[in-house]
Structure 1
Amino acid sequence: MNEQKETVGQSPLVFSLNDHPLKNLLTRAIGGQQGGFDTRQFPDGESYLRVSSMIEKSPCVVIADLSHPNDKYLPLLFLIETLRELGASQVGLVAPYLSYMRQDRRFIDGEAVTSRIFAHSLSRHIDWLVTVDPHLHRYHALDEIYSVPSRVVQGAPALAQWLQGQNNLLLVGPDSESEQWVSNIAEFSQHPYVIGEKQRLGDRNVEVTLPDIHVHGGRTAVIIDDVISSGQTILQCIKALQSKGIDSIQCVAVHGIFADNSDRALMAAGLSQLVTSNTIPHSSNAIDITPQLITPVIDMLNLSGKSS
């Protein structure tokens, strides 16, 4: 990790409300120290929080995986605002997975555009944001909805590096949205790839069709996606591959949410291996995203330090 740059001012204090795998790795990589705090819940479900580190004039970094955000958001705000009240020179957020990006328009009259509401709320509490592969579909950049400086880290290089050197693979993108992403990975890892077509019939109902892949017979298919939530897209892609005579199938993704134990369903459907990066803690974490985070986080610390 020789990408480290000198940070401005004091050594940053790094906090994580949950035991996230990036906490120790990123703290060491940016030359920081782990911040101390105690937290628990009162019998009525309200949160108690006490920060035990000396905070005044220290830059603070909070790591928060925001999958399943409804349970995590209030405790996160309590920590961030307490750090501010105790005199932090800056409070930046590293959200390896950033939630509430899906609803980016009002599809039906009366719907809440939750991506804008969430971004507006979160921006009021932080000085900067670093995240990995947010769901930028109709938005072209995070600054369309976030009012603080932000950096988006691409997970594709980490996936490509993990795949490089493995032989006899066929990379599979489940839909047209994945084509540019999968093609870049394939170019780096030097594997052939195909792209499927996906028809979404509902939140948990999709159909995936694949082109003719008979020329790739005998290869191991590796389905590549940015995020696995319900797992239905991957499940249908597995079935499509099996219908074409491909029996050796793996799946590699940046974010693994695995709602309703969908990881078990995917393995039961015929995956021989399921691999994710460590943006969201899971037993499938085999790809470390830390090297991609170092420079953006240090850049944000320096930027905010100069402006404070």
Structure 2
Amino acid sequence: MKVISTEKSQVLASRIAGALNTDIVDVKFSRFPDGELYLSAGALDDETVIIGSVTDNDALVQLLLLIDACDTSKNHLVLPYMGYARQDKRFHDGEPISARAIARLFKEGIEDCITVNIHEPDVLKYFGVPTRNISLAKDVGAYIKSMDLEDPLILAPDDGALAFAEDVASVGGWDCDHLEKTRISGVEVKMAPKKLCAASRSVVIVDDIISTGSTIATAAGMLYKQGATEVCAACVHGVLIGGAYVHLKASGIREIFCSDTIERGCSRISAASCIASAIKN
């Protein structure tokens, strides 16, 4: 078995290969003058693990080309981050179910697929091959434990993320809650933990994805007003668009960290061990 990856997942893929004690395939990437993508893979094995986060449209096309290039091998696909997964239902007439459209692309050339904290697990039914979702909640919890925070409050940004936050909190036996929005007026909204008090506590807001970071930044300001001593933010997938990292730091958040499903400067957690274990099993 060998590991091979798209251009934007090469660090994570190298770590997975190390965890599996196997080789990683050298791939050359380039672009034709008209903008079309090209790649050429080195020597393959009879079984290959293909690693590719769908972070943008080019990454998606590159992943499809890589799967086709490995057509002489028995292939296992790992999607550390699946773009378009948040459009998992039709909100208005005429819209695509984007998550379904992307999932349906992965039915030729692969035996099975692993996703990591996919935004909506119900999307797995759209894949054309057996697919399972794994979670980095315990890994996020382990990193929080290493921060030596005194009795932190683990906080989900909404009730939809509460199950993930509870899994994170279980690592240290910490308190867990979720933010609740209360509309004060037509223009003013208050956010606070639903049940627990943030006063005199370290708070870690956790979610599967941080995209613009606007909700977390607003929440941080309100938590400080409520007496929180410090606020940190953690996620699995650090999308961090539109200057989100700086926006979060400017809101007073002490530390922002994510995993390497999307390779960022604040990727403090590696998904490699969790993915390698799933592959072995």
Taking structure 1 as the reference length, the TM-score comes to 0.82
Q: 1:67 to 1:107 in 2, by over 3 A?
A: same
Q: What is residue 139 of structure 2 aligned with on the other side?
A: 158
Q: What is residue 303 of structure 1 aligned with on the other side?
A: none
User: Can you list the C-alpha shifts for 1:274-305, whole angstroms capped at 9, x where unaligned?
Assistant: 11111110011111222211221123xxxxxx
Q: What is the SS of the residue equivalent to 2:218?
A: helix
Correspondence 1:125-136 to 2 at 5 A: 125-136=109-120
Q: Is the 8 A contact 1:155 1:254 kept in 2?
A: yes
Q: What is residue 98 of structure 1 aligned with on the other side?
A: 82
User: Which residue identity does 1:62 align to in structure 2?
Assistant: I
Equivalent residue in structure 2 for 1:61, among 49, 54, 79: 49
Correspondence 1:250-261 to 2 at 5 A: 250-261=232-243
Q: What is residue 76 of structure 1 aligned with on the other side?
A: 63
Q: What is residue 296 of structure 1 aligned with on the other side?
A: 278
1:279 paired to 2:224: no
Q: What is residue 145 of structure 1 aligned with on the other side?
A: 126
Q: What is residue 185 of structure 2 aligned with on the other side?
A: none
Q: What is residue 171 of structure 2 aligned with on the other side?
A: 188
User: Which residue identity does 1:22 align to in structure 2?
Assistant: L
User: Which residue identity does 1:60 align to in structure 2?
Assistant: T
After TM superposition, give the deviation of residue 195 of structure 1 in Å. Answer: 1.2
CA distance in 2, matches of 1:21, 1:271: 27
After TM superposition, give the deviation of residue 266 of structure 1 in Å. Answer: 0.6
User: Can you list the C-alpha shifts for 1:152-207, whole angstroms capped at 9, x where unaligned?
Assistant: 111111011122262322221111112222123223212222211258xxxxxx96
1:218 paired to 2:200: yes
Q: 1:240 to 1:125 in 2, by over 3 A?
A: farther
Q: Is the 8 A contact 1:13 1:58 kept in 2?
A: no
User: Which residue identity does 1:75 align to in structure 2?
Assistant: Q
CA RMSD of aligned residues (A): 2.2
CA distance in 1, matches of 2:34, 2:271: 37
CA distance in 2, matches of 1:147, 1:267: 41
User: Can you list the C-alpha shifts for 1:4-31, whole angstroms capped at 9, x where unaligned?
Assistant: xxxxxxx324333335321221102113
> Which of 1 and 2 has higher RCO (CA within 8 Å, sep 6+)?
1
Q: What is residue 37 of structure 2 aligned with on the other side?
A: 47
Q: What is residue 20 of structure 1 aligned with on the other side?
A: 10
After TM superposition, give the deviation of residue 130 of structure 1 in Å. Answer: 1.1
Q: What is the SS of the residue equivalent to 2:34?
A: coil
User: Which residue identity does 1:26 align to in structure 2?
Assistant: I
Equivalent residue in structure 1 for 2:95, among 111, 131, 153: 111
CA distance in 2, matches of 1:121, 1:214: 44
Q: 1:40 to 1:208 in 2, by over 3 A?
A: farther
Equivalent residue in structure 2 for 1:236, among 218, 222, 227: 218
Q: Is the 8 A contact 1:214 1:244 kept in 2?
A: no
5+ residue gaps, structure 2, are: 183-187
Q: 1:243 to 1:217 in 2, by over 3 A?
A: closer
Taking structure 2 as the reference length, the TM-score comes to 0.89
After TM superposition, give the deviation of residue 216 of structure 1 in Å. Answer: 4.3
CA distance in 2, matches of 1:197, 1:217: 16
User: Which residue identity does 2:226 align to in structure 1?
Assistant: K
Q: 1:184 to 1:153 in 2, by over 3 A?
A: same
Deviation beyond 6 Å, 4+ runs, structure 1 = none
CA distance in 1, matches of 2:77, 2:23: 16
Equivalent residue in structure 1 for 2:153, among 152, 170, 191: 170
CA distance in 2, matches of 1:291, 1:51: 25
User: Which residue identity does 1:128 align to in structure 2?
Assistant: D
